[in-house]
A and B are shown apart, each in its own frame.
Chain A
Amino acid sequence: MKPFEDVGARAVMILSPGDNIAVAVRDIAAGEKVELDGRAVVITAPVLTGHKIAARPIASGERVIKYGAPIGKATAAVAPGETVHLHNLTSDYLPTYTLDEGHEFLKEQHQ
């Protein structure tokens, strides 16, 4: 599949064949089963529309691939169906600014 093809109306989709994450195309509740690579996987935590889950096991330090492009490195091992976000993915370029407690940038601001 080429980048930016139509996404259709499934719960999750893998945007490009080499991707190791899938994207939720609607909100998914904890406990729902979704199909990943032909296997049913139980979603353990709620996933909002557009958010990512691992489509296959991702090792700590491994590149995370979306639309065939690297979007950063995993900072922990991720099992299929688990969410991939700020807690386990970091940029290869520049840090992301968030309002989360304990973020390096915020610590600096609050000093």
Chain B
Amino acid sequence: MTIQAYLRNDGRKGIRNIVAVTYLVECAHHVAREITYPNRDSGAHLIGFPGCFPNAYSFKMLERLCTHPNVGAVLLVSLGCEGFDKGRLLEAIRASGRPAKLLVIQDAGGTRSSVAEGQAWVSQTLAQLQNTPRVEMAIDELVVGTICGGSDATSGLTANPAMGRAFDFLVERNATCIFEETGELIGMEHWMAERAQNPALGREIVNTVAKAAKYYAIYGHASIGPGNADGGLTTIEEKSLGAYAKSGQSVISGIIKPGDVPVAGGLYLLDVVPDGEARFGFPNISDNAEIAELIACGSHLTLFSTGRGSVVGSALAPVIKVCANPDTYKRMAGDMDVDAGRILEGRATLDDVGREIYDLILRVANGEPTKSEALGHQEFILTYKSFEPLGPACFPSAA
């Protein structure tokens, strides 16, 4: 199967054709939401940043998201007095060849006139985006992220290793695959280090997980919640063991940080835990914070495994939900794209489900809506963080 993609002026290829309505402070959120609403099922998605104080991480995130290959045009919605550097963001989006408009609520005369002006621009721009050139996209141009949420003890037995198989199929074909949440890989660092492309990267992986453990220790407990425990996961190591299975068995080619787009195919670990002293609270306050980071790293779509039964999707990039637990699937089939619980019931093998996920990735890349897309899920969250730049050992292939 070939993928028919949308070709952007910067040469990148997207699998969706979206106008990103982007609020630059919480004070502009309502206006941006009202602008998005009439077109929310026809390609207008809402993203944004709530803070008034500038932050390098959130700027980089919004810059990468607004120039993501699935995004064809951007409407920036500013109150007018917030700290966000809107001029620099607008310039970066225009430099990528995407149509962009800055709407400043204080200049446009308040809520009513801003909403009217924004809605008109979005409708007109969506119509123009119909003319975006379609081109073939090879599998090695595809970027796929993976995450788990609402995990129980079945996640690590069925959905996660099946997604790992799908990752192995993708990496064999030189696609780019990204796994993440180093705080949920605690206890797995030495196994991961053995899979690193070289020993220096292996040491970086161990250091990255140690940083995550230290960070979570400051906040008093690990990234394992009451729902996880009800689902049979007792310790962070046990949760990690299951989460780790999502990465498959391929060689780990590098470590990236939020907003870094890998330049070559392969399997990458996304380090989501901030650098330096612990600031701004928990590294990722909920699953969508991680999905947004995977998208900012170029993910065209995300694989999401759930045992307890998460319903989320995402703005900008489709989410494929793989349900680990057969009982959960029976209750929530309308939210789930893949029934991996069949493995537990002896009705399918890991390879069967891995192959099914792989085939579904290609169909979704070709435009088939996922369950969460069809249900209108467009969750998005972005908060404060701080990162240091990557060290040379993190990208052995580029050295």
From 182 to 206 in chain B, residues with beta carbon under 8 angstroms from any chain A beta carbon are: 186-188, 191
**A 17-60 binary contact with B (CB < 8 Å = 1; else 0):** 00000010110000000000000000000001111100000000
For the complex formed, measure the closest distance between the CB of A81 and the CB atoms of chain B, giving whole angstroms: 16
Check: B344 CB closer than 8 A to any chain A CB.
Answer: yes
Chain B residues contacting A4 (CB-CB under 8 Å) are 161, 164, 245, 350
Q: Are A72 and B235 in contact (CB under 8 A)?
A: yes
Residues of B within 8 A of A91 (CB): 222, 235-237
Interface hub of A50, A52, A86, A105 (most chain B Cβ within 10 A): A50
Provide the residues of chain B in CB contact with A90, threshold 8 Å.
235
A93 touches B222 (CB 8 A): yes
What is the CA–CA distance of A81 and B188 in the complex, to the nearest angstrom? 27
Asked whether, in the complex, the Cβ of A71 is within 8 Å of the Cβ of B237, the reply is yes
The yes or no answer to B349 lying at the interface (CB within 8 A) is yes
Contact (Cβ within 8 A) A93 B186: yes
Judge whether A89 is part of the interface by a CB distance below 8 angstroms.
Answer: yes
**Is B238 a contact of A71 with CB atoms below 8 Å?**
yes
Bound complex: CA A93 to CA B215 (Å): 12
Contact A23 B157 (CB under 8 A): yes
The answer to whether B226 touches A105, judged by C-beta atoms less than 8 angstroms apart, is no
> Which secondary structure dominates chain A's binding surface?
loop
Given the contacts A9-B345, A90-B235, A91-B237, A51 and B153 also touching, CB distance less than 8 Å: yes
Q: Known contacts being A96-B229, A97-B221, is A69 close to B343, with CB within 8 Å? A: no
B326 to chain A, nearest CB (A): 8
Across the interface, name the chain A residue whose C-beta is closest to B158: A7
Q: Once the chains bind, are A9 and B157 in contact (CB under 8 Å)?
A: no
Q: Within 8 Å of chain B (Cβ to Cβ): is A95?
A: yes
> Which positions 138-154 of chain B face chain A at CB distance < 8 Å?
152-154
Tell me how many residues of A have a C-beta within 8 Å of chain B.
Answer: 38
- Given A70-B187, A85-B229, A98-B226, 19 more contacts at CB 8 Å? A4-B161, A6-B343, A6-B349, A23-B153, A50-B152, A50-B325, A67-B241, A69-B187, A71-B187, A72-B235, A72-B238, A93-B237, A94-B222, A96-B222, A96-B234, A97-B224, A97-B225, A97-B226, A108-B220
B contact residues vs A (CB 8 Å cutoff): 152-154, 156-158, 161, 164, 186-188, 191, 213, 216-217, 220-222, 224-226, 228-229, 231-232, 234-238, 241, 245, 307, 325-327, 343-346, 349-350
Q: Can you list 28 residue pairs at the A/B interface with Cβ under 8 Å? A: A3-B245, A4-B161, A4-B164, A6-B343, A7-B343, A7-B346, A8-B346, A9-B345, A9-B346, A23-B157, A25-B157, A50-B232, A51-B232, A67-B241, A69-B191, A70-B187, A71-B234, A72-B234, A85-B229, A91-B236, A91-B237, A92-B187, A92-B235, A93-B235, A93-B236, A94-B236, A96-B224, A96-B229
Chain A: residues with CB nearer than 8 A to chain B?
3-9, 15, 23, 25-26, 48-52, 66-67, 69-72, 84-86, 89-99, 105, 108
Closest 3 CB pairs of A and B: A50-B153, A9-B346, A94-B222
